């Protein structure tokens, strides 16, 4: 029997099982989304929630809270979670670095730097005012990392990409820190944005970033075969016909769109892009054609559960989702390292 046959048969046999897993995750995401709309610091009966969802003209206070606050917040959580998980998987694949995430690759630092510039130079206040500067900063930082890593004859190798990300992050963070230490208003605004939160992000922000997140997710899901080629090593990828420079540039552009929009909307949310792709890899194996859709569904489930926990546990106030994920994500990360899963790229 040929080598191709021995490899393709098990893959074909696993496909129905992996497809069933995606269906289960989709149902789980729908259930968690409904919980996100139903639960919160304000107690709203299930009947009122269902009435508001079925009749968009409801004008009661509970109906307004459900439709104008919780529904946009939940939809944004789904999109942002999916974007962070998928972009984390793409970053780990393109850099072949199990620790790659938006924070390490300079994306968060770029967004923060441009937010500070928008506050101090243009005098902008509020997330809706400087969201586009955060998006632009994330995109610029991503392109800067790729440009720095591309210097030299070898081009943007995985090691150079990781080193360039660390260097750009350090430089932008130093600039941001230097500015905010001399500007109290910038410090207060940045502190509110940097905590990572879905609170206060309603319909205008959702509609603003949804096109970028939607297009980015579609583009990322189409890159599974390219990521599989890169995972085999540069020589094998070239033998398979991949143009490494063009492929990496395309993948980084996708990451810039996804992480830029997600970070701009909700701030730097930690651990989702780092941990979830590894959990997806444990569930479905090393094939990025499955890792990407599994990450797309697992990440918003994790993000919404953390957001629900923050609202319920912090009642009558709330704990920001970035704080909850930081507390819950650390043990998951340690467990993955402990059992050796971080090296299985």
User: Where residue 5 falls among pLDDT bands split at 50, 70, 90?
Assistant: very low
**Tokens 């994920």 map to which residue?**
325
User: Where residue 6 falls among pLDDT bands split at 50, 70, 90?
Assistant: very low
33: in domain: no
Confirm if 109 and 175 have CB atoms less than 8 A apart. no
Say yes or no to pLDDT of 1 above 50.
no
User: Where residue 177 falls among pLDDT bands split at 50, 70, 90?
Assistant: confident
252: in domain: yes
Query: What percent of the chain clears pLDDT 70, i.e. is strictly above it?
Result: 92
8: in domain: no
Rg (the chain; Cα; Å): 21
122 phi and psi, to 5 degrees?
A: -100, -10
Q: pLDDT of 295-339, one tens digit each?
A: 999 999 999 999 999 888 877 778 888 888 888 877 877 777 776
Which residue would you say has higher pLDDT here, 207 or 65? 207
Task: Name the DSSP class of 114.
Answer: H
pLDDT of residue 342: 54
14: in domain: no
List the single range of 9-18, 248-257, 281-290, 335-344 with lowest mean pLDDT: 335-344
Residue-wise over 171-192: b if at least 16 C-beta within 10 A, else e? Answer: ebbeebeebbeeeeebbebbee
334 phi and psi, to 5 degrees?
A: -60, -40
pLDDT of residue 197: 86
Query: What percent of the chain clears pLDDT 90, i.e. is strictly above it?
Result: 25
Q: pLDDT of 71-125, one tens digit each?
A: 999 999 999 999 999 999 999 898 887 878 877 778 888 988 888 888 888 887 7
182: in domain: yes
pLDDT of residue 122: 84
Say yes or no to pLDDT of 345 above 70.
no
Query: The dihedral of CA 56, 297, 324, 213: what is its sign?
Result: negative
Structural domain span for residue 208: 60-343
34: in domain: no
pLDDT of residue 298: 96
Domain tally, the chain: 1
User: Where residue 4 falls among pLDDT bands split at 50, 70, 90?
Assistant: very low
CATH number of the domain bearing residue 138: 1.10.3470.10
Average pLDDT of the residues in 246-253: 87
Confirm if 189 and 200 have CB atoms less than 8 A apart. no
CA separation for the pair 168, 172 (Å, rounded): 6
67: in domain: yes
CA separation for the pair 5, 259 (Å, rounded): 39
Say yes or no to pLDDT of 19 above 80.
yes
pLDDT of residue 184: 79
Average pLDDT of the residues in 272-298: 92
Confirm if 261 and 135 have CB atoms less than 8 A apart. yes
User: Where residue 237 falls among pLDDT bands split at 50, 70, 90?
Assistant: confident
5: in domain: no
Which residue would you say has higher pLDDT here, 172 or 51? 172
């Amino acid at each position: 029997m040929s080598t191709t046959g021995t490899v393709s048969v098990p893959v074909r046999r696993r496909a129905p099982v992996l497809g069933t897993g995606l269906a289960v995750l989709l149902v789980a995401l729908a259930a968690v989304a409904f919980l996100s709309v139903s639960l919160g610091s304000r107690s709203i009966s299930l009947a009122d929630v269902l009435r508001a969802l079925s009749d968009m003209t409801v004008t009661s206070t509970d109906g307004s809270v459900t439709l104008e606050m919780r529904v946009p917040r939940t939809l944004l959580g789904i999109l942002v979670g999916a974007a962070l998980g998928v972009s984390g998987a793409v970053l780990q694949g393109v850099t072949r670095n199990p620790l790659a995430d938006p924070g390490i690759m300079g994306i968060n630092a770029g967004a923060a730097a441009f937010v500070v510039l928008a506050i101090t130079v243009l005098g902008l206040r509020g997330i809706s005012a400087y969201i586009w500067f955060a998006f632009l900063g994330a995109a610029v930082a991503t392109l800067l990392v790729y440009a720095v890593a591309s210097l030299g004859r070898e081009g943007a190798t995985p090691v150079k990409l990781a080193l360039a990300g660390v260097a750009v992050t350090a430089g932008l963070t130093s600039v941001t820190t230097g500015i905010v230490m001399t500007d109290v208003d910038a410090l207060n605004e940045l502190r509110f944005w940097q905590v990572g939160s879905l609170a206060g992000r309603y319909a205008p922000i959702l509609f603003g970033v949804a096109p970028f997140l939607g297009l980015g997710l579609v583009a990322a899901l189409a890159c599974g075969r390219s990521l599989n080629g890169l995972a085999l090593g540069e020589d094998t990828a070239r033998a398979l016909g991949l143009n490494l420079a063009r492929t990496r540039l395309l993948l980084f552009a996708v990451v810039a769109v996804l992480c830029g929009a997600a970070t701009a909307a909700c701030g730097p949310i930690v651990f989702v892009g780092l941990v979830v792709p590894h959990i997806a890899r444990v569930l479905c194996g090393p094939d990025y054609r499955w890792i990407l859709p599994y990450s797309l569904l697992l990440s918003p489930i994790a993000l919404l559960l953390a957001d629900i926990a923050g609202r319920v546990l912090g009642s009558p106030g709330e704990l920001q989702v970035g704080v909850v994920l930081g507390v819950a994500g650390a043990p998951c990360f340690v467990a993955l390292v402990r059992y050796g899963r971080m090296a299985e790229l």
